[in-house]
Each structure stands twice: as C-alpha cells, then as structure tokens.
Amino acid sequence: MIQNPNVHIIILAAGQGTRMKSSTPKVLHKILGKSMLGHVLHTVEGLRPQSLSVVVGHEAERIRSVIGDPANMNWVNQHEQLGTGHAVMQCKSVSVGADNVLIVCGDTPLLQSDTLHKLMQNHQQSSAVITMLTAKVVNPFGYGRVCRNTEGNVIGVVEHRDASLEQLSIDEVNAGIFCVKRVALFELLEQVSCDNDQNEYYLPDIIVHALARNMKVGTVCIENDDEILGINNRVQLAEIEQRLQKRIVQEWQLLGVTVQQPESVRIEATVKIGNDVELRAGTQLLGSTMIGDNCCIGPYSVIEDSWIDDAVEVFSFSHIQGAHVGSKSKVGPFARLRPEAELDEQVHVGNFVEIKKSIVGRGSKINHLSYIGDTQMGSDCNIGAGSITCNYDGANKHRTLIGDNVFVGSDTKMIAPVEIKSGATVGAGSIITKTVNENGLTLSARPEQRHVPGWQRPKKG
C-alpha cells in the first residue's frame, strides 16, 4: 500500500461507552484477544499515515498503558467529553502540516485499511472539502442518518435521537469516518454548536456549515456494511466478534488450514498458524499461540500463549497454557500442560497427565495419570501410570531431576528434592526419597503379599 504522507489520522476514543455498563473503558474491551482500539490502530497503521492521534479522556492513563506508545502516535487529551466534534477540535495543533485529516472512531473494529484507502483516494480525486463514509444497513437503529435533497446530494446527518419519524426510516447511515481538508476542518468546527438532544458538539454538523459556505461535500457508500458496524453495547460486542471470527477463520483456510465446523472454533487475532494444519471442532487458539506446520489439534482443545512445533498432535480435550511442545510430539487426550512446561521433540503426554514448569527431554513418555512439576527430565524416559513428583511440602516447591533413559514403574512417588540418575529403573509402587543411582533396579520395600485360603466372596442377596 502506498504511503500517505499528507494525512493526519485521528482515532476518537475518549468516550466512556456508557452503554457497555462497564468499569473498563469501551475501547479496551477485547475482541478475539485484542482490544477494540488495538484493532482500529492496526487498520490505520496499514495506511502508513504521516502522523496519528488518539483522542482519550475517560480512563486515559489506563488506555495508554494497555496500548503503549506506537511510533508516530500522539495521545491527545479531551478532558471533558463534549462530543465527537469537540474531540476532533483537540487535535488542531498536533495535525499541523497535514493537508487532510482522516477521522475514525475507536469503536468500529471491523473496518479495513482498503476501505479507508478508497475513501481517501475518492476525497483527493474529487477535491471535496469533506468526504464522508456512509453505508446502507438493514438495521440503522442508533446510527446518524444521512439526509439528502431531491437531487440526491447530501445535506447533513441527523443523529438517531434527534431524528423525526420520517428521518428514522432512512437506511443510509454515517459510518463515523470522515476525510476533511485540514484547514477547513478546524474553521468549520468553530461554527458547530451543541444545540441538540445531548448538548454535544457533533462532528457530522460540519457538513451543514460547509454547504452553507459552498464547499464541496462528497460521500462514499460502502458495499460491505459489516465493516462500519460500531460497538455500543455487549450485544454488538458479541455480534462483531462473531463476524470478525468468521473473517479470520476464512483467512487461515485460504492460507492452508483445514477447519472442521468453522463456526465452533475460536482463533484469536493474535494467533499464528502454519501450513497444512487441521483444527478440529470446538478448538480454541488464544493469545500469542503459534502452531507449526502439519499439526492436528482437537477436537475441543484449548491452547493459550503457547508454541506448538511442527507435526504435533494434540488430541481431544487438552488444555495447554504458556507451554512449548516440540515437533512430532503427541499430547492428550485430556492432558494439561501448564506454564513453563517445555516438551522436547517426540514427547508423548497422555490422558490425565499434568505437567508444570518442567523440561521433558526428547522421546520421553508420560502416558497416563501423572503429575510432573518442577522437574528436569532427560531423553527417552518412561514414566509409568499414576507416578507423581511430590514437589510441594506445603510451604516450598522442590525440584526433581531425572536423567536419560530412566524407567519409572507405575504409581511411584518421587518426594522432591530428589534425583534419579540416568539408566535407572524404579520398581512400581516405590516411594523415592533419596538419590537413585545410575542403572540397576531401585525399589522401596513392599508390603508382604498374603494369601487367605478358603476365603469366599460374599454372595449377593
């Protein structure tokens, strides 16, 4: 995409978002793992503007700390939220030097760079002073309606709450996105009054003043009305998330990911997926998760902030968080990998196994009903069913060290801190409290086995 050197972009994000009924500012509500404002920022950054401002007011500091300080960005404070026109006013000095200003709202996360690019191109080619993005929508409830004269020329925008019954039937709405010649913009804003139902300075009112001064006002009507949808309440939040999810799933499908029952999976906007991956129904890939090539995940597995290498199989109902799974490993069904579980290549972790803050070496297998915590395990070990590292004494966590090629029999308790050296075999049912030497068999004393001759099973009834 070309650079847009003479454009200053303004994102409006100062409102509280009263209709969200939340202590979190509206633009910080997340959609597929990324804040609403984060989505809009990503979109406008695609245009490579000369400079960018975000107008904040309500919980400004909290918003700044979540978003950080991207390059070329100014945080502009609107101390009192007196309307969208008033918000834009605050950007007068930071936008000096730009020919045009592009204004977008922080609550329209489906918006795409291409659409903004087309709006700006149209604005520049038509030499209009104001170009407004509009859309025809099935349900215009809540939006500002675009009013036109009998020739079809735009004459203004009326907000839903200020509209007459006749105006409410108009299905063309203001998307809240404007491209305006900078000098004219701030002159026109001076003329805008707050004579309306909300006593606010409405940005779209610049249209009326521009027309009164014979300035050219144009509109671009968008075909895909999805993109302009704004979020004002949590019903819209869920609807928009669903639409964005469909878009993201389709993007991955087109890049070579097979998705079973696409409407059942969740792939957050921050996730990366390799080639020839199969995602089975009900799977959720969250946060900073990365999936390598040729993996097969699910059904119904959740992977969050984790790195899954190539050719890994994660079977049904597994939960993986903050972990790394090396290539060609197999995990699940019903496995739980907790933060800092670090599996090397070709590791097998089976059903009802939990691993926390542990390194598991290449080719090792922990296949049934085990807990491995605070452990460093070498390669080619086999940990028998029901074996447990007893890492917690009620106050402190202790480490278990296991060498290479260790065989731990079923139902062994390793009371940490403890070490089992390479090549050792531990007999089933052992309680290990001391260092186990290399090779040979180590086992703890077993209760004597008794036989009771002549004993008979109780009979039913």
Residues 102, 105, 110, 112, Cα dihedral to 10°: 10
Q: Which two tokens stand for residue 195?
A: 């004579």
CB of 19 to Ca ion, least distance (A): 9
**Tokens of residue 367, six digits:** 């296949």
Residue 129 binds which entry of Ca ion, ligand UD1, none, CB below 5-8 Å type-dependent: none
Q: Please enumerate in sequence order all residues whose Cβ is within 8 A of that of 346, keeping only pairs 6 or more positions apart, or say none.
A: 326, 327, 328, 329, 362, 363
Contacting range for Ca ion; rule: CB under 5 A; set: 41-49, 107-115, 148-156, 383-391: 107-115
CB of 136 to ligand UD1, least distance (A): 13
Q: Which is nearer to ligand UD1, 74 or 232 (CB)?
A: 232
Pick 107 or 225: Cβ nearer Ca ion: 107
Contact between 176 and 210 (Cβ < 8 Å): no
Residue ranges binding ligand UD1 (CB under 6 A): 12-15, 55, 78, 81-84, 86-87, 105-108, 143-144, 157, 159, 173-176, 202-204, 230, 232
Q: Give the nearer residue to ligand UD1 in terms of CB position, either 172 or 354.
A: 172
In the bound state with ligand UD1, the residue whose beta carbon lies nearer, of 148 and 362, is: 148
* Cβ at position 167, least distance to ligand UD1 in Å: 12
Q: Closest CB to ligand UD1 belongs to which residue?
A: 144
Footprint (CB under 5 A) of Ca ion, residues 154-213? none
Angle at 191 between CA 187 and CA 192, to 5 degrees: 115
> Which residue number, 142 or 282, has a Cβ lying nearer to Ca ion?
142
What is the separation, in whole angstroms, between the first and last Cα of the chain? 83
Residue 296 structure tokens: 């097969």
Residue 233: which of Ca ion, ligand UD1, none does it interact with, CB under 5 to 8 A by kind? none
Supply the DSSP string of 307-331, one letter for each residue. EE-TT-EE-TT-EEES-EE-TT-EE
Give the amino acid at 334: F
Sequence-ordered list of residues with C-beta below 8 angstroms from that of 269, at least 6 positions apart, any chain: 31, 32, 33, 34, 39, 244, 248
Q: Which residue's beta carbon is nearest to the bound Ca ion?
A: 230
Residues 224-253 that bind Ca ion (CB under 5 A): 230, 232
Choosing from 107, 268, 309, 344, the residue that interacts with Ca ion (CB under 5 A) is 107
Catalog residues that contact Ca ion under the rule CB under 5 A. Answer: 107, 230, 232
